Amino acid sequence: MYRNYPLTRKETCDMKSGEHFDVIIIGAGPSGIFCAYELIKEKPELNILMIEKGRPIEKRVCPKRKTKVCVGCKPCSITTGFAGAGAFSDGKLSLSPDVGGNLPEILGYDKATELIRESDDIYLQFGADKNVYGVDKQQEIRKIRKKAINANLKLIECPIRHLGTEEGYKIYTRLQEHLLANGIHMEFNTMVKDIIIEDGAARGVITDKDETYYADEVVSAIGREGSDWFSHICDDHGIDTEVGTVDIGVRVEVRDEVMEFLNKNLYEAKLVYYTPTFDDKVRTFCTNPSGEVATEYYENGLAVVNGHAYKSKEYKTNNTNFAILVSKNFTKPFKTPIEYGKHIAQLSNMLCDGKILVQTFGDFQRGRRTTEERLCRNNIIPTLKDAVPGDLSLVLPHRIMVDIKEMLKALDKVTPGIASDETLLYGVEVKFYSNKVVVDKDFETNIHGLRAIGDGASVTRGLQQASANGLSVARSILARIDQK
């Protein structure tokens, strides 16, 4: 059981430009948090600095939760700050290596399984719910699997531990307090402007406040929000990357009744489909039973759609939302997948004055714009109150439109009602983890001492593998320190 750690912050004013640390961690999302946790647990004497462009978790307050209108906070408290986007996400921990990233490919399946179990134990230590979905409903899951097979869908079976938005916030608050109490330096509201690289090795970082900090070990744990920044760092310094996958799609919202059987027995049904027309890979992602559709804001005010759900009954809605994402792999000469995703999101923002577009599936199929009048006739009341009725065909490429339509028709065979005319589609959802950094088994880049981990390096795609990745890279750093 977790305990309440005293908050004994090492104030950033105690640090001086030019100071040398043992390890500098860029970003305070789950991968960075668990890296710092493991480092300080094994070697309490280490001098560790975490630099985060957002705020400490207790100051991460989104005014939109009360006003229902985005006021344009910079940086956005939904996507930046201690715990990253994970602090305001639905907080689902996928307890299988088959879901959420590439750790099995890099470390091997057994090692990835072990790290996921260890990181899960840490979440439990800090107060995570002990209940796990998808392990004790085998008869019901068998029925779902049979329906999926009949619809040419692949059911990815994965136990899920649900933190919940508000409970996840509390868990990460305890983790922040634990790290501070154990001597981790944290500098918030600070952007790393550049990484110092000399003679093929990382030497430190330069911040946007023109502060310079040195370390022989630098960990880039910047999350999806920082993937574009890190892609430019890679270009500037010759850090090896590959063109990653672009995930683009929509967030679907239906009444809870439509998803009841799946929600009750799996919580999150992870289904993969290869579309008949184009043979594109399409998947469901981030299901939020009785949840809310939400907006995430990135650099320069770019708005994309997401979703979350609370544990507390008083905050639950009547709707379930989930993403449908189309995975696109490009070949040469294309090499800017992040910019491609941003361009599509910008088209949607342009049509909706910086807000999220919503369209009924009936209008989506008929190629007509959803209007306020038709939206008011719907049985489904949108949970994203400032979404703007519109036409996704003016935003998404035709190929992705066809993929989404065919996926919804297939899902309707598993849980009838998803392909109803009244189903809501919010656009667009884009996952910015497509800057795929080339790393070895220690997650070290071709630059000695520079390691790239988590979603921002396209190594992981979720909280659990990101957390496990942090443990793994910490141990690689500790092994090198011990050799010195």
- pLDDT of 435 reads 73
Selection from 469, 474, 477 nearest residue 116 by Cα: 469
Selection from 480, 456, 478 nearest residue 28 by Cα: 456
Output the pTM of the full model: 0.84
- pLDDT of 474 reads 98
* Domains defined along the chain, listed by start: 16-128+163-242+435-483 (3.50.50.60), 138-160+245-431 (no CATH)
d(CA 390, CA 276) in angstroms, rounded, equals: 27
- pLDDT of 268 reads 92
Residue 401: how many other CB atoms lie within 10 Å:
18
Residue 368: how many other CB atoms lie within 10 Å:
14
Residue 32 makes CB contacts below 8 A (sequence gap 6+) with 25, 26, 50, 219, 221, 453, 454, 470
Helix (H) or strand (E) holding 473: helix 463-483
- pLDDT of 417 reads 97
Give mean pLDDT in consecutive 10-residue pieces for the chain, a chain of 484 residues.
42 71 97 98 98 94 70 79 81 91 96 98 96 89 97 94 88 97 96 97 97 97 89 95 88 97 94 97 95 88 91 91 91 81 94 96 97 93 96 97 98 98 96 82 98 93 95 98 90
